[in-house]
Amino acid sequence: MADTSDTRTPAQIEADIRRRREVLAETLDEIGVRVHPKTIVGDAKAKVASSVDQTLGRAYVQVNRAVSDVRGRFVDEQGAPRLERIVPVALVVVSVVGLVALGTRRRGR
């Protein structure tokens, strides 16, 4: 059974009711802001932007790692080019470009 004896004065009870109404009004305002379409759209945009930023950050790290790896293969510790590795790759690239150009030229006739 609930205790019905209340030793508060009517003024204290009214003040308590007033405080509870204010808290309730603040809570309802906060709920209204949270369920407002602009708030929902803004939250969704923020989540997407965060996801894109994370994805781009990971991609940047992977690309940077790959570039560093390739650079390490063609440049020594002092920053000088490793010609023994660059020349064969350059010859292969020139050969492939030449073959593609020759094939394109033959098709054009």
Q: What is the pTM of this model?
A: 0.45
Query: Coil, strand, or helix at residue 75?
Result: strand
Q: How far apart are CA 94 and CA 12, in angstroms?
A: 92
pLDDT of residue 108: 63
Which residues does the chain have with pLDDT short of 50?
Answer: none
**Which pLDDT score, from 0 to 100, does residue 109 have?**
63
| Summary mean pLDDT of the chain | 89
What is the signed CA dihedral for 83, 88, 93, 95, rounded to 10 degrees? Answer: 130
Query: Cβ neighbours of residue 36 under 8 Å, at least 6 residues apart?
Result: none
